Structure 1
Amino acid sequence: MAENAATRAGPGGKLFRAGFHALAALRGARAFHPDGLLLKGEFHGLRCDDLALPDEPVAVTVRMSKGAGLPGRLPDALGLAVRIPSADGAPWDLTLTSSGAGLVGRVLPRPSRAWTTGRYSTLLPYRTKGELVWLSARAETPRHAEASLDALRRLVTEGPVTYLVETVRANGHRKPCATLSLHEVDEDSSRPAFDPMLHPPRGWEPRPGWLARLRERAYEGSREGR
């Protein structure tokens, strides 16, 4: 199936896949976001017509990571990945990266100095009900944690860390849709392969299509390479 998908993506997709495969093989880990911290959390959906969210708070698996894998507290494109269970058994993988604000800012990764400042964005929008919608998150905690995994571990150990998740329209209109609370470092669970291309929200289509297909090839190459 993966080969057929790569073929449909054309020569560019094959090269993209091969490049990410090689980088993951060289690292022995994900091509990007190779180092991260697995966390236990709770996802609480708010009233929102855009997403079919669970009626009650649900336990989720979260991975926070540094995009380029830069050491220590060096600024990096920080990642926030959440696996949300659904009633039909198919998970929803939400992956966000530290970004800027505004139309241009939210589609570009932006190195951040801390896990608790600025915004995270899906970068690519989804098309749902005829509209383009991004998902965004920002920390709602007065505590600060610089961009190192050790600092993140200390932050979560000291007490819950909450993020507000919002939908964002092309015109910049934001609407809260959920809260995400991180409350424990997960030392025991297996490391899930978060993949927003394989596990999107029901009825949501990543856009634009050509870029989504290239991103899918990147995920395929990274999975196979590592």
Structure 2
Amino acid sequence: MAGLVSAGFRGLASLRRAPAFHPDGVVLHGELRPVARDLPWPSGPAPVVARLSKGAGTPGRLPDALGLAVRIPGAGRDGGPWDITLTTAGHGHVGRMLPRPAAAWTSGAYSSLVPYRQADRLVWLGAWTSSPRVEASIEAARAAVPWRFVLRTGREDGRWCDSAVLTLTGPAGDAPSFDPMLNRPAGLEFAPEWLVRLRERAYAGSRAGRPS
């Protein structure tokens, strides 16, 4: 199964000459400001690069599973980056684990879909914006700058708590190769293990299929 997942994502990335999913997007720079210490955030405001993207790459303003990816330089293991990837989803016990197509960048929650394991507890990460409605096109996302998202941690009991504020203020250069499986802080792992293995092969296949 893992080999088929890797081969499938490699083939799709090669065909698109871009990531297998979220092939197009707008890259922005900004700042992340922690408001709680429930995740290993930087000690204070930190510069970030982020990308708003459409999962399947549907054209124009057609609904899609919309993505928010964030890179925090220096916040990962051994001084590397911490990459966070979130997708439009629900926010209940089950909904936060299921991608949900959205007709607007502002229509609801973005979720990590799978939880982080931190010591003996599971923690989901989600994002919400209070911006007025912005339709689901890349051009609309670019025109809506500045963006402000509140990042919240979700507990196993379904509660969400404010954790950080993400502000995106202007265009950045080329998108980094976001990879939450490789780039995360020490002591923060994904769960469950079987799904982690599949995601690792999917990201590895997508990396291998992209043009160098």
**Same-fold call, TM cutoff 0.5:** yes
- Distance in 2 (CA, whole Å) between partners of 1:201 and 1:120 is 21
Which residue pairs with 2:206 in the alignment?
Answer: 222
- Distance in 1 (CA, whole Å) between partners of 2:133 and 2:142 is 12
List aligned pairs for 1:53-92, cutoff 5 A: 53-86=41-74, 89-92=79-82
* 1:90 Cα offset (Å): 1.5
**Number of matched residues?**
208
1:118 aligns with 2:108: yes
List aligned pairs for 1:101-140, cutoff 5 A: 101-140=91-130
Which residue pairs with 1:4 in the alignment?
Answer: none
- Distance in 2 (CA, whole Å) between partners of 1:133 and 1:201 is 14
* 1:103 Cα offset (Å): 1.0
Residues 140 and 161 of structure 1 are in contact (CA less than 8 Å); yes or no, is this contact kept in structure 2? no
Runs of 4 or more consecutive aligned structure 1 residues displaced over 6 Å after TM superposition: none
- Distance in 2 (CA, whole Å) between partners of 1:139 and 1:202 is 28
Which residue pairs with 1:211 in the alignment?
Answer: 195
**Which of 138, 145, 150 matches 1:149?**
138
- Distance in 2 (CA, whole Å) between partners of 1:55 and 1:20 is 36
Query: What is the DSSP-based 3-state SS (H/G/I as helix, E as strand, rest coil) of the residue aligned with 2:151?
Result: strand
Question: What per-residue deviation string (whole Å, max 9, x for no partner) do you get for residues 135-156 of structure 1?
Answer: 0000032x22100011111101
Residues 27 and 174 of structure 2 are in contact (CA less than 8 Å); yes or no, is this contact kept in structure 1? no
Query: What is the DSSP-based 3-state SS (H/G/I as helix, E as strand, rest coil) of the residue aligned with 2:164?
Result: strand
Query: Given the two structures, how large is their TM-score scaled by the length of structure 1?
Result: 0.89
Q: Aligned letter for 1:105?
A: G
Which residue pairs with 1:26 in the alignment?
Answer: 15
- Distance in 2 (CA, whole Å) between partners of 1:172 and 1:15 is 34
Question: What per-residue deviation string (whole Å, max 9, x for no partner) do you get for residues 111-142 of structure 1?
Answer: 0111112000000111112011100000032x
Which residue pairs with 1:36 in the alignment?
Answer: 25
- Distance in 2 (CA, whole Å) between partners of 1:96 and 1:201 is 17
| Structure 1: segments with no counterpart, 5+ residues | 1-11
* 1:219 Cα offset (Å): 0.4
Q: Aligned letter for 2:195?
A: L
Which residue pairs with 2:176 in the alignment?
Answer: 192
* 1:81 Cα offset (Å): 0.2
| Structure 2: segments with no counterpart, 5+ residues | none
More helix by share: 1
* 1:207 Cα offset (Å): 0.4
> Who wins on radius of gyration, i.e. which is larger?
1
Residues 124 and 153 of structure 2 are in contact (CA less than 8 Å); yes or no, is this contact kept in structure 1? yes
Which residue pairs with 1:6 in the alignment?
Answer: none
Residues 60 and 82 of structure 1 are in contact (CA less than 8 Å); yes or no, is this contact kept in structure 2? yes
Query: Given the two structures, how large is their TM-score scaled by the length of structure 2?
Result: 0.95
